């Protein structure tokens, strides 16, 4: 018998794989519903994976171990597993894979149906608060309800602290470090919007546009991304922001000061944009400067750029070449100080977790405690947005399911 902690994507996958091979599986789920993060994936459409899996789309302190885990589950093997559940996928932009239904609920229902068919027992509202290793190497789990469970094998798929409203929790991570001596890298928010006290964010709140975003840490370029950004009352969000949030979390954990440099019109070089604006000036027309700029920028961005450029003119008739240069520089280099991420509450995932160097990539078993296995988000692995995190959940779940089971 094996106890699996967490009815997550990785936990349910491991349970199904193991039960199909004849293993008796009991899943302990802290909440009242399984796979809550799957429901939220892809805005409810379930970005189930990605067709362009590569090591470069993942992050871990132990990339060599991660490479072995990913290599053990290629796209064909994953497709075969999903097909066995009755899930058919379709590919969208950037290689993103979705179920044909475009409903996350259909994926969860397929998992739960197959788990029940394979004989997996799922017990809800069983939050594990302590784990110990008893006589004969059996694992003893203590639940908040007062119940106790014992098994010779234990698989932990309880996730990270990200998105606590969807079941994110760090309790098991603490137990793993204290009870079993595993190194646990401090979890930090990733794939998160960012907080900024800049008045520019409030002035432009609700404006969404494609941009190039450069993350500066202690005034040095850390990374940059292109994609949509969204100004909000609390700061800034959007795909480009999610993409750099991991780097920002790590930098701020080191005590570095961070800011963003935003190019609002990345498809235009500075000289080209200056030329376009200079040719638009009709001094006799005397168009108000805010309206004149509104032809290239959203109306809520115009006062932001005017303030950033330090231009206080009223009309296009007053513009000089140096004013155009200052306006273009502000458009291409809008500066925002950053206070941090929106914390785990709003993060899609976390970086950090149980160190991979203490995990056997062949079966996801602990190298420190026989019979203890790990899969999914609890590990020090996080992927880029676009289905890479769910791919790792399926992949590590399949490996762990084979590891905890005996052939039927």
- Please check the confidence at residue 142 and state whether its pLDDT lies above 70: yes
Predicted confidence at residue 204, as pLDDT, reads: 98
The pLDDT-based confidence of 21 (bands split at 50, 70, 90) is very high
pLDDT (tens digit per residue) in 309-352: 999 989 999 999 999 999 999 999 999 999 999 999 999 999 99
How are beta strands 96-99 and 49-50 bridged, if at all?
antiparallel
| Best CA proximity match to 264, nearest among 193, 192, 327 | 327
Give me the residue spans of the domains in the chain: 2-190+348-404, 193-342
The pair of three-digit structure tokens given for residue 50, joined into one six-digit string:
């990605």
Instruction: Write out 199-218 in H/E/C secondary structure.
Output: HHHHHCCCCEEEEEEEEEEC
For tokens 């498809």, what's the residue?
Answer: 267
- Percentage with pLDDT > 70 across the chain: 99
The pLDDT-based confidence of 68 (bands split at 50, 70, 90) is very high
- Percentage with pLDDT > 90 across the chain: 94
**Opening angle at CA 126, ends 120 and 128, nearest 5:** 110
Average pLDDT, rounded, for the chain: 96
The pLDDT-based confidence of 406 (bands split at 50, 70, 90) is low
pLDDT (tens digit per residue) in 196-237: 999 999 999 999 999 999 999 999 999 999 999 999 999 999
Residues 6+ apart with CB under 8 A from 231: 200, 201, 204, 205, 206, 207, 208, 300
- Please check the confidence at residue 408 and state whether its pLDDT lies above 50: no
From the options 3.30.360.10, 3.40.1190.20, 3.60.20.10, 3.50.50.60, give the CATH code of 2-190+348-404: 3.50.50.60
Phi, psi of 24, rounded to the nearest 5 degrees: -80, 125
pLDDT (tens digit per residue) in 188-198: 999 999 999 99
For tokens 């698989």, what's the residue?
Answer: 155
Predicted confidence at residue 22, as pLDDT, reads: 96
């Amino acid at each position: 018998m094996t106890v699996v902690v967490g009815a997550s994507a990785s936990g349910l996958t491991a349970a199904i794989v193991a039960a199909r091979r004849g293993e008796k599986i009991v899943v302990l789920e802290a909440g009242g519903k399984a796979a809550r993060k799957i429901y939220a994936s892809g805005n409810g459409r379930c970005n189930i994976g990605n067709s362009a899996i590569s090591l470069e789309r993942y992050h871990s302190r132990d990339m060599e171990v991660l490479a072995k885990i990913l290599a053990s589950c290629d796209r064909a093997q994953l497709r075969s597993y999903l097909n066995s559940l009755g899930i058919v996928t379709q590919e969208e932009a950037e290689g993103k894979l979705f179920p044909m239904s475009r409903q996350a609920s259909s994926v969860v229902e397929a998992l739960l149906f197959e788990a029940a068919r394979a004989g997996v027992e799922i017990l809800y509202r069983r939050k594990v608060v302590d784990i110990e290793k008893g006589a004969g190497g059996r694992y003893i789990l203590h639940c908040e309800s007062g119940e106790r469970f014992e098994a010779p094998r234990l698989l932990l798929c309880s996730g990270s602290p990200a998105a606590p409203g969807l079941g994110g929790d760090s309790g098991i991570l603490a137990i793993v470090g204290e009870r079993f001596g595993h190194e646990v890298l401090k979890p930090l928010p990733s794939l998160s919007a960012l907080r900024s006290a800049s008045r520019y964010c409030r002035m432009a709140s609700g404006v969404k546009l494609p941009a190039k975003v450069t993350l500066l840490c202690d005034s040095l370029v850390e990374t940059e991304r292109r994609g949509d950004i969204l100004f909000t009352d609390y700061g800034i969000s959007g795909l480009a922001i999610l993409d750099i949030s991991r780097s920002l979390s790590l930098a701020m954990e080191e005590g570095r000061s961070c800011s963003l440099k935003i190019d609002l019109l990345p498809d235009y070089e500075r000289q080209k944009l200056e030329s376009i604006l200079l040719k638009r000036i009709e001094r006799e027309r005397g168009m108000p400067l805010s309206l004149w700029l509104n032809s290239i920028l959203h109306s809520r961005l115009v006062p932001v750029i005017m303030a950033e450029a330090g231009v206080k003119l009223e009309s296009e008739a007053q513009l000089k070449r140096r004013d155009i240069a200052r306006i273009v520089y502000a458009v291409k280099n809008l500066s925002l100080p950053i206070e941090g991420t929106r914390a785990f509450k709003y993060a899609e995932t976390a970086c950090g977790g149980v160190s991979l160097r203490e995990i056997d990539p062949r079966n996801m078993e602990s190298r420190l405690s026989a019979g203890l296995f790990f899969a999914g988000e609890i590990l020090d692995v996080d992927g880029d947005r676009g289905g890479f995190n769910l791919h790792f959940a399926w992949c590590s779940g399949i490996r762990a399911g084979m590891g905890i089971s005996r052939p039927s």
